[in-house]
Amino acid sequence: SKQIMGISNAIPSLLLSILMFGVLGNYAQLTSDFYSTTCPNVTVIARSLIKQASRSDVRLTAKVMRLHFHDCFVNGCDGSVLLDAAPADGVEGEKEAFQNAGSLDGFEVIDDIKTALENVCPGVVSCADILAIAAEISVSLAGGPSWDVLFGRRDGRTANRGDAVTALPLGPDSLEILTSKFSVHNLDTTDLVALSGAHTFGRVQCGVITNRLHNFSGNNGQSDPTIEPEFLQTLRRQCPQGGSLTARVNLDDTSPDSFDNDYFKNLQNNRGVIESDQILFSSTGSPTVSLVNRFAENQSEFFRNFARSMIKMGNVRVLTGTEGEIRRDCRRVN
């Protein structure tokens, strides 16, 4: 009977390890102490540079967070979004993809972090890892949650503009399309809603929402009926028909530079700026609606889920071990 007990005691822990592996996938390859001996000051150096840069640019934290997201969604978290186009090296810049062109920003602070790290521990810290830690620092500096960033990613040697166009979400995406763009990376509905909450800070260009305001479903003069009427007038004033497509509006009208749960409260009031944001709440009967309600009601629950989803996203198709390289310059392959 002792033997049987031993077996039955082993089963829960075996199940747990299977479950953990199922949830964590190749997380085991990344560790929070990866640089503890080779470059112990990674976080300190990155934090001081982001803090400094955000003093002169209130939008910096949102920009840096977006870089990590746009990196991971295109062929995994491999730093490819940072590469400048270099046809001779077979590198098509993802920066020129429709969803990135003219709007993706924050590259300079990543360069500064890389330069500083190359000075103290040359050839050690990957650009992909810099993006991961910079995103966490940016969120926490803006008042959001902190989490243990896992390290050990290596940098990819290619970038693909076409893949970026296919993989990255678009403003008019339906809930079905959004869900499938996330599920490709094993990110579920909770991840979709939690990560969309990053739109609690930052700005969006008028070009992304102009059809929603003035030409909804291809009907000239029509606007998306889900927009709260007063808010619609505000947005139309900020993005007039025929106006500048590069002018920017706050993604979160109530606290544009703070990382909080106001984004979800805005959705409840039909004041989501981008169509693919509001659709999370306006899709009656979808599981996204109850998640929006939960996160609107409880900021710490949103923060917990956001941190969990960021760790999960940061592990999408990572290169480890001898794969890829450690770039000396984040903008070009070695």
> Sign of the CA dihedral 289, 179, 206, 309?
positive
For residues 76 and 296, what is the distance between their CA atoms, to the nearest angstrom?
Answer: 30
- Strand 203-205 versus strand 248-250 pairing type: antiparallel
**What is the Cα Rg of the chain in Å?**
21
For residues 99 and 252, what is the distance between their CA atoms, to the nearest angstrom?
Answer: 20
Which tokens hold the place of 193?
């809603």
Place of tokens 């944001």: 277
For residues 268 and 250, what is the distance between their CA atoms, to the nearest angstrom?
Answer: 17
Place of tokens 């993005």: 239
Which tokens hold the place of 267?
């959705």
Identify each DSSP E strand in 151-236 by its residue range.
203-205
CB atoms within 10 A of CB 114: 23
Place of tokens 């470059």: 39
Tell me the three state secondary structure of residue 239: coil
Residue 151: is it exposed, middle or buried by C-beta count within 10 angstroms (0-12/13-18/19+)?
buried
Candidate list 70, 185, 199, 214, residue with the active-site label: 70
* Strand (E) or helix (H) holding 249: strand 248-250
Identify whether 70 is a catalytic site residue. Answer: yes
Residues 6+ away with beta carbon under 8 Å from 185: 72, 73, 313, 316, 317
- Catalytic residue positions, numbered: 70
